[in-house]
Structure 1
Amino acid sequence: MPTISETYLENRWRVQPNHANNYGTVHGGNVMKWMDELGAMSAMRAANEPCVTASIDQMNFNRPVPTGETVIIESYAYETGRTSVKVALDAARENPRTGEREPTTKSRFVFVAIDEDGKPVEVPDLSVGSDRCRRLRERALERERDDS
């Protein structure tokens, strides 16, 4: 049984000119793609199977990220269904020189585990053994309640 902490991933992308719109900030579609890719990896760690995106909950882009800054995305699975995995995703902008961070985007994605034929397969429950696991899960569930 995987733990929530084992599904936790963090990645960084430096915003290049080819990622930017005509305002010199990252395209929202790039942020969504990066969140989807990292979220799928968290889901696969939870499911121990390939996973595909089933749904994306509300996604608000609260702050722009200019070219030259870094987008940091944190991802972790916090709940499983029979064949699905819920993943919490948080993005922030980071100044690469100072390390100063500012939250930009939050979302939840649901992924479905599939077999080699693309059919849904069952996933194991997630273990919540440590304080860190409990804090991560509570943070995600609290956000889910706030969005309802």
Structure 2
Amino acid sequence: MPDLLDTYMENRWLIQPNHANILETAHGGYVLKWMDEVGAMASMRFSQESCVTAHINHVDFQRPIMVGDLALIEAYVYDVGQTSMRVRLRAYREDPQTGTQEQTTESYFVYVAIDEDRDPTPVPELTVSTERGKQLQADALSGENGDG
């Protein structure tokens, strides 16, 4: 059974002018695309199957990511159903010179594992065997319910 920490993924993009809106901040559509891609990677790592996006919970854009910043996207599977996985996604703006990070966006996505025929297929049970994993799961569950 895969462990929560085995699903933890992150990726970075340098925000260039072609990613920006007229305010010279990352266009929300790019941020959502990158969140979806990293979330899919986490769910595929967990299920060892192809996965499709089934649901996006509300998305909170808390602050912008400026041109020249790095967009850091992190994702991990924190809960599973029979064929689905719930993934917490957060975006941060990161200073490329100092590494200083500030959270900018948060959401919770649901992915469904699919087989070669593109039909839903079962996923394994999720284990959480470390204190860090337990904290990540608790944070995701409380945040998903609006408590975090």
In 2, the alpha carbon distance for the partners of 1:72 and 1:22 equals 21
Does 2:82 align with 1:112?
no
Q: Is the partner of 2:146 in helix, strand or coil?
A: helix
- 1:74 aligns with 74
What is the 5 A alignment of 1:77-96?
A: 77-96=77-96
Shift of 1:29: 0.3
Shift of 1:57: 0.3
Shift of 1:109: 0.4
Shift of 1:46: 1.3
- 1:134 aligns with 134
- 2:43 aligns with 43
In 2, the alpha carbon distance for the partners of 1:40 and 1:87 equals 9
- 1:33 aligns with 33
Q: Is the partner of 2:145 in helix, strand or coil?
A: helix
In 2, the alpha carbon distance for the partners of 1:17 and 1:31 equals 14
Shift of 1:145: 2.1
Identity %: 52
In 2, the alpha carbon distance for the partners of 1:132 and 1:2 equals 15
- Amino acid of the residue matched to residue 81 of structure 2? G
Superposed CA deviations along residues 17-70 of structure 1, whole A, max 9, x for unmatched, are 110111111000000000000000100111111100001001011111111111
Shift of 1:11: 0.9
In 2, the alpha carbon distance for the partners of 1:104 and 1:130 equals 27
- Amino acid of the residue matched to residue 44 of structure 2? M
The answer for unaligned runs of 5 or more in structure 1 is: none
In 2, the alpha carbon distance for the partners of 1:116 and 1:11 equals 27
Shift of 1:95: 1.1
Shift of 1:81: 0.3
In 2, the alpha carbon distance for the partners of 1:2 and 1:91 equals 24
Superposed CA deviations along residues 65-121 of structure 1, whole A, max 9, x for unmatched, are 111111111100000001000000111101111222111000000000000111000
In 1, the alpha carbon distance for the partners of 2:26 and 2:145 equals 29
In 1, the alpha carbon distance for the partners of 2:69 and 2:129 equals 36
The answer for unaligned runs of 5 or more in structure 2 is: none
Alignment RMSD (CA, Å): 1.2
